[in-house]
Structure 1
Amino acid sequence: MNLGQPLSDSSDFSEDGFVVFTSKLIVKDTGTKKGRGVYANQMFHCGEIVEKCPVILIPKQLSLPIEVQTLLFDWTTLAKAEDLYALAAGFGSMYNHSNPSNLRYAADRDGKLLLFIAVTTIYQGEELTINYNAWGGGVDADHNNWFETMGIVPIS
């Protein structure tokens, strides 16, 4: 895909016709059961902030459909806030799971942001992933607690 030119032919689109890109990130079909994923459109170095996502804070006591719950981050744990979830704008709620992941995430409580940070060198074209099971935005976990809580079978 030539980022300097307008989208002009079918080679510019993924199989489902959906591609979103910025200068740093691309959302496209993974070609797997996972569906869409977020990919690096440049190289990122270990420790580099890949994305800063504004968050929408949602009280935990609200009854939300499972389709929404799977998009939320535990702001209570991440930002040491009281009984809140965070919905990440930008691409933050679109990162797929991997164990270990190549990103960790952390809260900027005052800025109401989620920061997604490379934990290894990430090369252009590589899918960006987070670990859904790791507590507090970590990289790896030895359990599937998030998937079990959500009633979802992990996709390998």
Structure 2
Amino acid sequence: MLFNRNIDQPLHIEVRESLLHGRGVFAKSRIRKGVLIEQAPVIFLSKEEKETLRFTKIYHYYFLLGNPEKQTAFSFGYASFYNHSAEANAFYAFSRNRNTLNFYAYRTIEAGSEITINYNGKPNDKSEVYFPNSDEP
């Protein structure tokens, strides 16, 4: 994986406006199936901290990793900008050893394409995803 040594950001992805929802993560170059796209560090939040997020702009950007009562995490890097798709071209896995969310190409992603994940955890999971009304905390 290519990284810019000065800012530790992947050179092959970028965040820009998305047709799916607001901003999204896009491939700047072709990413082959199975390649690690990004390793995003996470910090875990207490139940109280998670509840406090309801009153902030970052409320819709946290991850639930396992038990929602114990595994609420906020991730850095581009992690919170990957949009949902029921037919995602990438997936993520939590690394307990490194406390990172690791994003991988589920299939080859062409340059210019938006990189999507399935918020249900599996790339082709067709289950509905619940998105709270953005006007309500």
In structure 1, the residue matched to 2:80 is 93
Higher helix share: 1
In structure 1, the residue matched to 2:126 is 142
In structure 1, the residue matched to 2:90 is 103
1:26-41 counterparts in 2 under 5 A? 26-30=14-18, 32=19, 34-41=21-28
Bigger relative contact order, structure 1 or 2 (CA pairs below 8 A, ≥6 apart): 2
User: What do residues 71-116 of structure 1 show as CA deviations (whole Å, max 9, x unaligned)?
Assistant: 11112x1xx7970211110000011111111111001112010000
Q: 1:98 to 1:145 in 2, by over 3 A?
A: closer
Quick one: which of 43, 51, 58 aligns to 1:68? 58
RMSD after superposition: 2.2
Deviation, 1:33, is 6.0
Per the normalisation by structure 1, the TM-score is: 0.69
Q: Secondary structure at the match of 2:112?
A: coil
Q: 1:99 to 1:33 in 2, by over 3 A?
A: closer
In structure 2, the residue matched to 1:118 is 105
Q: 1:33 to 1:114 in 2, by over 3 A?
A: closer
Q: 1:100 to 1:60 in 2, by over 3 A?
A: farther
Deviation, 1:61, is 4.0
Within 1, Cα distance between the matches of 2:83 and 2:68?
A: 25
CA contact (8 A) 2:10 2:38 kept: no
In structure 2, the residue matched to 1:15 is none
User: What do residues 39-98 of structure 1 show as CA deviations (whole Å, max 9, x unaligned)?
Assistant: 0011111111100000121123431217433211112x1xx7970211110000011111
User: What do residues 91-146 of structure 1 show as CA deviations (whole Å, max 9, x unaligned)?
Assistant: 000111111111110011120100001000001111011112x2xx2112232243
Within 1, Cα distance between the matches of 2:103 and 2:36?
A: 6
Confirm or deny that 1:44 pairs with 2:34.
Answer: no
Note the residue ranges of structure 1 that are not aligned, 5 or more in a row: 1-20
Note the residue ranges of structure 2 that are not aligned, 5 or more in a row: 1-8
Q: How many matched pairs?
A: 123
Q: 1:81 to 1:99 in 2, by over 3 A?
A: closer
Identity of paired residues, percent?
32
